Structure 1
């Protein structure tokens, strides 16, 4: 896998270099050579450029893009969580080309989404080509994402944490090695091709006074508020253009026209915006009102660009928003308290990280990204302070990040790389093991030691003389006692923990997973809700992973059945919802024992707020809700089966 990680890093670095060169050359072609061609328009020629890019992107989107799943970073997150990292590489490449056209012609977007897509396309192509397992393909896709960020921002460490925080959603030991190798290789290749210089040259500054942390606290609040505005703005304009009654192929061009008009008055909003950030970092004459104006216009232009169908990322615009917001805030604070505060440039850097963290909900990535982009570590304390405040408040004010918001549109709710909507339908009772090994509280510790050696578990439920749950004992409890050297006269009851975290058969597995996280344990006893001392099973992390994989298959089956329903709907079939009446013919019977009308198909069964696919051995209980597909001639016969006899 390390060899493959090196290959992913090299190919991603090359692709990233070509991508940036493409944007640069296209920018020269349109903004410099285009000025000569469109000289008759005078300064208004810049209005036309994003329109041309939008038209080209609209054509590519019409023929090459799929609209039935998330795209960009959100699409990669969805593929890693739900499809084993399998991505349509051809579509990713087309979206990267669309990003070159969007950004190169002045569209307001960032390079990181296409950079991640380049790496993900490399990773998934290699993984699928070699017919690797889902787990290894996920690792290669995450490695490609890390390499993409590392190359795009010259920040390999931030790339690693981006892959772990956002793409995978958790730190997994198996993937960390390949992710680090790919990110480092990609960054080294970028150093060779483009040079080792940081993204921004930072003037000297320092934290003037610890009282200044009060201002950074206030700025963190402001940054969190702007982050939420940014997230909601992207969503609002996306919905606006989706509902606009014009052909989809023309929407990116319309967005380009709006961005062109905006850029005519504020040209700093065109493209990625790094040049504007560099300018204010070097300037000693900043106007707060003009910087705040750029916050508003850049947010508007980015939302229009992406909402209308333009391609690109949301990282760089968030950095731009934070820089301008921090600059304006810093100008005001430094004017009011010149002896207590640093220059506005310090707030510019803190603002970049704070707004980014609030928008993407990846605080570690944001902090490390700023360190690596500036190669300056002197403002660590206020930087982390503002980033944490911004992230916490952004999460409090708005549930979704810019990425999870895109996933939510497709009914996907990820936590730690898993879809909670999928896990909501899987109960602990379905995933747990019923063969539970317990130990008596009166068992001596020497015998307990042999039990641990025999079963290779890290802990066992402890029961009393009635066989009821009494506590839990772990291998760490035993090791502590062994260090004291006295096992002869000790029993399990002397070292076991009485406070036991338990779960119930009717809880979703994600609730059990959260309970495991509170104590960092790998297994939980499952007890009867009516009698919490009666053990009915045990559930481990592996059981949850396996149940999640089964739930993915179940979801895919539901989607296939939904397709059949749509097909039936077009051919005159009816989709009806039926509730099992206590006196009906189907109550208390197995599905396979019921004589169903011809041309009828059961789609799903809802029992106690959980949805499941129907099987022949399922028992229909009063109160269950059945969704079925049936032709019009037999619909009344089907309804009769569910009505009181």
Structure 2
């Protein structure tokens, strides 16, 4: 198969082995980048920590100074880039997917890669999934750009990179697929679904090969929740919905407050806040996954649980709102788990013979994530895969439903990612026309039956038009006086008796790159609503096809056969 036919197949919005292959390759590239990212973080942490992500072993002075040192490295990185390329993370990826077909700027990715390493190694209360999504999307879309693939397939390739990045980061292949469909793309299409699954599988396999076949929360014991808990789970879900509303509102308020200050001032303030909070409550530092295990092994006092919850909440809102590069999902899971431990403390007063801390911690993670992101299915599968416990599905659904309804319906809470996008004034919506046309590459609809003429003589053109083959398009090549190609046709709206020369109609043909979608071609012809564009590859003098406006209109009105 030639490279042209390979690209043409990718331009069609339909399942194909070509799209699956390129998605698999993109998933491999994204997974390898995420593995390098994780190894870099863990290697730095083990230089001064006894265990990965366990800051409780550090002295108070080092807990205070570690975030400050990390910020100095982040500021050095920002200074090298002249404080540009600071937009990153999951909201930025959603924006680039909708507005730029998933093309992620390389310099933003470098900032995310190294900034994420410094933030996560420096004890900030951020997650690694934000950088993982950004790096995974950038890695795979970079591949598509280098191969000059159609833009609609690059969007799919970017989604594959996101799935592979999450799967490689957390070893949750199924949750990664649903996260992409529910949170990133916000649509389910079969031709996208299969490549994303393949990319997620390869991400999990590479994680198994490097880090072993384990899940983050496998230390949870078999859950013991019975049906009599369900009224308590509903109450718990309502509380989580309120907590999620408070979290999202606080984070957006912090973003608005910090927007008027320079990046350097914001990051220094974030380091000081994290240092002070870490000094007082060491369990709040880092991703805090270790604190969940500690709560299950020990019976924490009520005041300790409350202090950890408040400290983690404040630290997460402060550092993310002030611009520290990192993810929001990891801290959200931990806040939910601590809230679950708090709920379990009160349940234990009713039933002191059984410890339900692990059960309610898992339920809290699911409910908090669902209410914060407005992504109930992704939250459910994330917690199931992280804990490797399918039996928690039913009780988790009870908590997720009550948390989601409370947050989204009664408190009007929206996805934190969409709120961040609106605050940053980054578009993430497309019109219905664009949404349909962006799924088709111009290669899939162009006509290759054309002839380029080197003459502008009317008599010769009339003679050529009279003898042209059925369906053949005639194009006049630019001469010294003109700079654009023109499509020549018999004007069927004018009777020949009105003048022979007027029976020939020539229209300017806009140039459209072979990577473009029908959306670009449509808006190039939008004003005149007739004529055609010519498709070129790399050079505007290299015409490879013609696309008529009538063909675009037919897809909008009748769909694609």
- The whole-number CA distance in structure 1 between the counterparts of 2:520 and 2:351 is 55
Aligned match of 2:338: 324
Name the CA distance, whole Å, in 2 between partners of 1:74 and 1:406: 7
The structural deviation recorded for 1:350 is 0.6
Match of 2:184 in 1: 167
* Alpha-carbon separation, structure 2, partners of 1:161 and 1:70: 25
> Aligned-pair distance for 1:550?
6.2
Match of 2:313 in 1: 299
TM-score by length of 2: 0.70
Is residue 370 from structure 1 mapped to residue 388 from structure 2 by the alignment? Answer: no
- 2:118 aligns with 101
Partner of 1:343: 356
CA RMSD in angstroms comes to 2.8
Measure the CA separation in 2 of the matches of 1:344 and 1:268: 17
> What TM-score, normalized by structure 1, do the two folds share?
0.61
Q: Identify which of structures 1 and 2 has the higher relative contact order when contacts are C-alpha pairs closer than 8 Å and 6+ apart.
A: 2
Shift of 1:552: 12
The answer on whether the counterparts of 2:384 and 2:392 sit within 8 Å (CA) in structure 1 is no
- Contact 2:370-2:376 within 8 A present in 1 as well: yes
State the match for 2:417 in structure 1: 403
The CA deviation at 1:388 is: 1.6
Are positions 1:6 and 2:24 aligned together? yes
> Which SS does the other structure have where 2:391 is aligned?
coil
Residues paired across the two proteins, number? 421
Cα distance in 1, alignment partners of residues 26 and 290 from structure 2: 30
Q: In the alignment, is residue 15 of structure 1 matched against residue 33 of structure 2?
A: yes
In structure 2, relative to structure 1, the CA distance for the partners of 1:175 and 1:549 (3 Å cut) is farther
Match of 1:566 in 2: none
Alignment of 1:204-353 (within 5 A): 204-244=221-261, 247-283=262-298, 285-338=299-352, 343-353=356-366
Deviation at 1:410, TM superposition (A): 3.3
Alpha-carbon distance in 1 for matches of 2:374, 2:381: 14
Where 2:218 maps in the other structure, the secondary structure is: coil
1:91 to 1:389, Cα distance in 2 relative to 1, 3 A = same
Match of residue 158, structure 1, among 131, 156, 175: 175
- 1:334-375 per-residue CA deviation (whole Å, 9 max, x = no partner) reads 212457x86121000010111011111111111111111111
Rounded Cα–Cα distance in structure 1 between residues aligned with 2:137 and 2:239: 34
1:129 aligns with 2:146: yes
Instruction: Summarize deviations over 1:550-582 as a string: whole Å, max 9, x none.
Output: 68999xxxxxxxxxxxxxxxxxxxxxxxxxxxx
Q: CA 1:366 to 1:67, structure 2 compared with 1: closer, same or farther past 3 Å?
A: farther
Residues 87/45 of structure 1: CA separation in 2 closer, same or farther (3 Å cut): same
**How far off its partner does 1:287 sit?**
2.4
Matched, 1:26 2:41: no
CA distance in 2, matches of 1:142, 1:229: 30
Give the conservation status (yes or no) of the 8 Å contact 1:154–1:190: yes
Aligned to 1:144: 161
User: In the TM superposition, what whole-angstrom CA distance separates every residue of 1:451-473 from its partner, at most 9, and x where no partner exists?
Assistant: xxxxxxxxxxxxxxxxxxxxxxx
- Shift, 1:163, TM fit: 0.8
Q: CA deviation at 1:228?
A: 1.3
Instruction: Name the CA distance, whole Å, in 2 between partners of 1:125 and 1:349.
Output: 37
**Contact 1:119/1:144, CA 8 A, preserved across alignment:** yes
Report the counterpart of residue 460 of structure 1 in structure 2.
none
